[in-house]
Structure 1
């Protein structure tokens, strides 16, 4: 029978596999933007990987709850188990966002190839920035190093600024090109969803800071808003 330390190690490995699968979904989104071809194949892979993430999330939650009930951990270990439950749930949501996004990308590429060329080129560096932030989070989780996590919170502000620029450009195009309003509107939705994905990364970051340092950044943020 596993002790608490062994259970935590196994759960962390389980969570890491979820993170890696989500990273693959990001890669698939990027490949769609880079190539604009093999759309059905990429979309199909995204569906498969998202199903894997969903299965991982169910197991992670069940095993974390069992560990809490069996070992009744205190302080840091309890925070870690709660973070794994919350993190798994959030990663599952992030996978759902990427699945919906690649579906939108696929539809725009098929229905409006000319717009897709412009949109793909515009979105690609934006998504790559998001992926870079996400990979720093993964590395920080693996190495237990919080030194770069605070920089990610600043990076998120730049991602939000970039999202607003892209959406403003799309809105301008809608006024100039009324024949393709439907796909331009979907491009705006797409950008907002990627921005939401990036926001979720920061939620994961703040949870990891809490585990590594016992510092609740969300509580600080709420107190700042109240003041």
Structure 2
């Protein structure tokens, strides 16, 4: 089933509306997948981005996709092959650090809603011209943070972003207060130290705090 750019953005916008924070997950131990997803969903963060940065990432997506209430996506999509593998693993959406014509075409052909990355007004305008109006602002802090994103929003108010990259509990509110931000991506809600100890209650607590961050 193919997907248009506009439909892709509509779907990713719906996913971003589920909670103020989308956990950005780098999971190296497959045994952590299900309890991690259960803790995050129980804490109020149902949209989960599993980055394709570890050998078990696709298996993690498969395991998390079975958790009730979760909406699991694949992050760090770079090639058409990544897209096909993510769809086969059960990913419901994709996230990319940037965007190429080949990657966009692959996601559209596979019917995978993509949150494409943009860091400049030119990149955002190129995606907008193709039909995307929901994007990832990455790397957020390195690209100027909330002030830069607010500035981009002035001439391009029709674009909504999910800033990711350097977002923390301390600066998340500054991003979420912007009119052109739907949610933010953050890794602090799933720290490796807590996962290593199996402290899923601790992760659920972090998720619950993040789920209550105000937007707009």
Q: What is the TM-score when the length of structure 2 is the normalising length? A: 0.31
TM-score w.r.t. structure 1 length?
0.30
Higher strand share: 2
